[in-house]
Structure 1
């Protein structure tokens, strides 16, 4: 597939100014030149054109926001001065597997002041004596060459490198905004104490209700017992009066019989 068609396919009905990443790997360059890219891709931050038989960067459009450029496995041998003119904010450049042979070709990258990582792996220039020392001396702005710094420390992944500053800021914000140490534990303890107090108060209320109802029942029972006692007393008095009346009656009858005699 030709580069123009591939670009139209990658757009997916989006306008060029809406695109921030564009991958055109393994498509076909006509005459080894870039086709289909223009200045309307002004928001582009990542562009990959690996293995597209690219030999010239002369038709690279102005991409001021471009930070990462992948150009590996092409046939580029020079003309790198275009990069500083068209992509002044590049931080990462991959030229591995191209036809770069000498330091004078790489010297043009000195004008990429923001360049931090450069990859020349599998280029003929890597066969030069003191290759790494020479490149680091020539391009003093770079930190990583072919994935390693001057002390042979490996470069972080590109995604980590992208998010490094942002993540630090986010972590600091989270630490500042987050609760102090032990805050959650104290809060949990307070919640537990509140639950216990509520349970205790509910239990106390329940006990009060039970106590009140019990006292009321006792009072009612006492009143009933008093009523029963009064009734029994009245009955006994009535029985005693009845007995006294019968005794008086019998005495009167006895007196009457004595008078008759």
Structure 2
């Protein structure tokens, strides 16, 4: 299918100015040039034209909002200066599998000031000595080359991760949002209340402990007093028994004396 027909198919009864993503992979470019794509695609942010036999970018329309451009597996060998003129806000550019051979061709990308990720995998330029070092030195604005940064850290899977990082950076610079501040205040208040409740519970527990201890001490004192009373009663009973025994002995002695006198 030719590119022009494919574009009409992808629109799906939508107006070009409403489209933000457009995938035209594996269609056919007549004479290696772009057809059917024009300046009416004002909101286009993602455009993919992989494996469409594209050799020239001369007919690329102005796409000021375009951020991601997929041009892999084509026959592009030069003319990259058009990209900075037509798509100045590009952050991601995939040129893997094209006919790019030398650094002078890539030098035209210096004017893409927002470019963060460039893919030249499977291009002849990758065979140059010190290829990666040379590209990073030439295009100092990029962070990732062929999916890895200068320290060989892998790039995020999608631009969404980059967007999240950007949002995090903006939030750090701007400070926490008002809603977050309120939530933090509420959390602090809840923590203070919990601490106060814990302190009150501990005080009650200590009070109960003291009451319990004093009660136990009173019981022990009472038990000791009962033991003393019991001992005293026992002693009194013993004394009474001894006195009784003495009385009986005296009585017996008197009786014995009487009997002797009668005799």
| TM-score range relative to shorter protein | 0.5 to 0.7
Question: CA distance change for structure 1 residues 228 and 10 in 2, over 3 Å: closer, same or farther?
Answer: farther
Using the alignment, how far apart are the partners of 2:18 and 2:41 within structure 1? 8
Shift of 1:113: 0.5
Aligned Cα root-mean-square deviation (Å)? 9.4
Secondary structure in 1 matching 2:178: coil
For structure 2, list consecutive stretches of 5 or more residues without a partner in the other structure.
none
Question: CA distance change for structure 1 residues 193 and 116 in 2, over 3 Å: closer, same or farther?
Answer: closer
Secondary structure in 2 matching 1:64: coil
Using the alignment, how far apart are the partners of 1:174 and 1:248 within structure 2? 113
Task: Please report the TM-score for the alignment, with normalisation by the length of structure 2.
Answer: 0.64
Question: CA distance change for structure 1 residues 16 and 251 in 2, over 3 Å: closer, same or farther?
Answer: farther
Secondary structure in 1 matching 2:147: coil
Secondary structure in 2 matching 1:93: strand
108-117 or 229-238, which deviates more? 229-238
Shift of 1:163: 3.1
Using the alignment, how far apart are the partners of 2:261 and 2:130 within structure 1? 169
Provide Cα deviations, 1:105-134, integer angstroms capped at 9, x if missing partner: 000000001000000000000000000000
1:98 aligns with 98
In the TM superposition, structure 1's runs of 4+ consecutive aligned residues that sit over 2 Å from their partners are 159-163, 168-261
For structure 1, list consecutive stretches of 5 or more residues without a partner in the other structure.
none
CA contact (8 A) 2:156 2:162 kept: no
209-218 or 41-50, which deviates more? 209-218
Secondary structure in 1 matching 2:251: helix
23-32 or 153-162, which deviates more? 153-162
CA contact (8 A) 2:71 2:95 kept: yes
Using the alignment, how far apart are the partners of 1:180 and 1:11 within structure 2? 39
Provide Cα deviations, 1:146-180, integer angstroms capped at 9, x if missing partner: 0000010101111433432xxx6878999999999
Provide Cα deviations, 1:154-209, integer angstroms capped at 9, x if missing partner: 01111433432xxx687899999999999999999999999999999999999999
Using the alignment, how far apart are the partners of 1:50 and 1:65 within structure 2? 20
Provide Cα deviations, 1:47-87, integer angstroms capped at 9, x if missing partner: 00000000000000000000000000000000000000000
1:200 aligns with 201
Provide Cα deviations, 1:10-29, integer angstroms capped at 9, x if missing partner: 00000000000000000000
146-155 or 213-222, which deviates more? 213-222
36-45 or 192-201, which deviates more? 192-201
Residue of 169, 173, 176 corresponding to 2:166: 169
Using the alignment, how far apart are the partners of 2:7 and 2:24 within structure 1? 7
75-84 or 238-247, which deviates more? 238-247
Shift of 1:138: 0.4
108-117 or 186-195, which deviates more? 186-195
Question: CA distance change for structure 1 residues 242 and 28 in 2, over 3 Å: closer, same or farther?
Answer: same
Using the alignment, how far apart are the partners of 1:67 and 1:16 within structure 2? 17
